[in-house]
Chain A
Amino acid sequence: MLKNTINGLDKILFDEIPKGSVILVTGAEGTLKSGLVFSMMTNYIAANDEHGLYVTLEQNVESHLRNMNSLGIKEEGGLHIFDYRDMRLEWMDSDLDLIKTTEEVIDSYKEKYDNLTLFALDSLNALYSISENGNMRNKIYNFFSHLRDEDLTSFLIMESAQSRISGQFSQFHQIEHFLADGTIELGMIEGKGGVKRYIQILKMRATKHAMEKHQLTVNDNGINILGPIY
């Protein structure tokens, strides 16, 4: 169960996240978005005989794994990591519709592994920045519907440094929030004891959860969730 995948996650999540939920994971750069999602997925896959797909547009597979390794998160055979490096190098001169292509990638893995139950996209921002803009709202809506049709519990990572989001992007910025079943926010707070990382569940449909910001730490055992941060 996802609730048991991170040390202390049960402090903020009191019920299991319903299967097939689409969850946004937001936060500024370096707030452990990739680490948290990848860690939840590897631990879930290790404990269950299921498969997962982690699509990374931000980094290629090798650099993503290096990053995860430095956070103490190990690779897991059933978690397939897909990057677009080869495709983009070989099709440099063509316009690839990356949203449609990502849907096809999901379908391909689903065909191969019928117990594919988890999906992550790292990140939505990267997907938008390299997709053509025509009718983005519709495309996003369809993309979410596709994830639900495939019955995948999905984590969509969205970098949320407001200041960096230019006008063109912000018009899409709201739709994900109301389409998603859940939103997990990661961040950093400056307090008496210095800067602390936090995790906060802003929304999780059909699930009992805490509202407070809880402290997030990284050590040799990976990611841990401690008590409320106030």
Chain B
Amino acid sequence: MTAIDLTSASVVERAQRISEDVAGPNAEAVDRHARFPVESVEALRVGGLLASLIPVDLGGGGAGIREVADVVAILGRGCASTAMVYAMHQIQVACLVRHGRTPVLAAYLREVAADGLLLASATTEVGIGGDVRSSSCAVERSPGRFHLTKEAPVISYGAFADGILATARRTPASPASDQVLVVCRRAHTRLEQRSDWDTLGFRGTCSNGFTLTSDDDDAYVMPDSYADISSQTMLPTSHILWASVWLGLATAAVDKARGFVQAAARKSPGSTPPAALHLAELVAVHQQLADLVQSAARRYDEAWGIDDREVVEAMGFVIAMNALKVSASQLVVDIVSRAMQICGMAGYSNGSPLSLGRLLRDAYGAALMVNNDRINANNAQLLLIHREH
């Protein structure tokens, strides 16, 4: 589909090409029209990057979280919506890789790898707010089958997904917190759109609201409890990969600020432009974010590589991953604001090459994707008993 050779280069090189040649050039149009970045996702599919995290024996790339986090940040530098779609897909893949150990789910992962399927997520529910650890909808079973109806206020790229992982109560009699994760395959699932997605930022994620109805073989209800899937896999992977999106977005803002300062420097060699000092400060904050994200990815990658549940189940690990999300979501806003200060009107104007409008609007989404207040409240409770650091 493109002139890019997506087969020979390394994963990171392929991501770089897609970010620079496809995602970046389309980012403004994706944002303006709130349209799905079809061409970027197609390039990721063709390049085999949708299957990066799937083990080699199931037909995937066998990458770890660290490598995927690098890919996400590279994509985020070109188009944050594309990076977020890719990140959210990998989060669902991670849950299947770690918790889909049955023959049916392993076969499904093989299909995800072979056909380049795109997976989405329906954790939020109407009436529940952002409390993803409780559900009101429930899985209804009949022999060998399940039925699920869920009112989902936000399913990113739901209309474009080949499968959606949805949370629900284990049975109609289960309490709200006793949840399972259900794989809703497209051919067995109906989506009725209930709301539009016309937001400030992340407009290309096309996160409309839907009523989701799924009827399928009950082997697609994942065997582990969602409590375990969430704490061991979905929460750390989400926070690391979301933070990687924000890192990429922040890097794009730094690129613009650097461009502005260097253009000024070229006009008057010998005198340091006033904004150069602000650039030095900005780069220091950007480095904080980069180091934060990369060290969290490394920490999780080590546990992932040896499948060490002791590490990821420990309270200190959960607290650290929660803190990562809160810090990174604040740093990204700080970084884009600083870049705006440096670029001045060139950053504030729409349509200027140094325009920071889209990046600023995207950055403000970070603190709301699972509200930081909820995450801090969670950590506050855990810190009542946590001792080690």
Are A and B interaction partners?
Answer: no
Residues of B within 8 A of A (CB): none
